[in-house]
Amino acid sequence: MNAVLTLIANPAAPCLTDTMAEGARAALKALGGDVAPPGWLAPGVAVDIAFDGLAPEQAEAAVRPIVEGQPVDVVAQPMAGRRKRLLVADMESTIIEQEMLDELGDYVGKKEHIAAITARAMNGEIDFKGALRERVALLKGLSAATLDEVWGRATLMPGAKALVATMRASGAYCVLVSGGFTCFTGRVRDWVGFHEDHGNGLEIDGGVLTGRPTEPILDRDSKLEALLRYAGAQRVPVPETMTVGDGANDLPMLLAAGVGVAFHAKPSVAAQARARIDHGDLTALLYIQGYRAADIVADTGGVAEHTPG
Entry pTM: 0.94
Q: Please state, as a whole number, how many other Cβ atoms lie within 10 Å of the Cβ of residue 108.
A: 16
Each residue of 133-168: pLDDT tens digit? 999 999 999 999 999 999 999 999 999 999 999 999
* pLDDT on residue 298: 81
Report the chain's mean pLDDT, rounded to a whole number.
95
* pLDDT on residue 300: 55
What is the Cα–Cα distance from 148 to 108, expressed in whole angstroms?
15
* pLDDT on residue 128: 93
Same domain, 71 and 105: no
**Low-confidence stretches of the chain (pLDDT beneath 70):** 299-309
Same domain, 21 and 93: no
* pLDDT on residue 302: 45
What is the Cα–Cα distance from 134 to 33, expressed in whole angstroms?
52
Instruction: Judge whether 89 and 262 are in contact, CB under 8 Å.
Output: no
Same domain, 109 and 188: yes
| Total of domains in the chain | 2
Q: List residues bridging with 124 in a β-sheet.
A: none
The last residue of a domain, from among 20, 46, 80 = 80
Query: CATH number for the domain including 31?
Result: 3.30.70.260
Which residues are CB-contacts of 223 (< 8 A; sequence separation ≥ 6)?
88, 90, 177, 179, 245, 249, 250, 252, 253
Query: CATH number for the domain including 134?
Result: 3.40.50.1000
* pLDDT on residue 308: 33
C-alpha separations of 197 from 184, 230, 238 in Å: 10, 12, 20
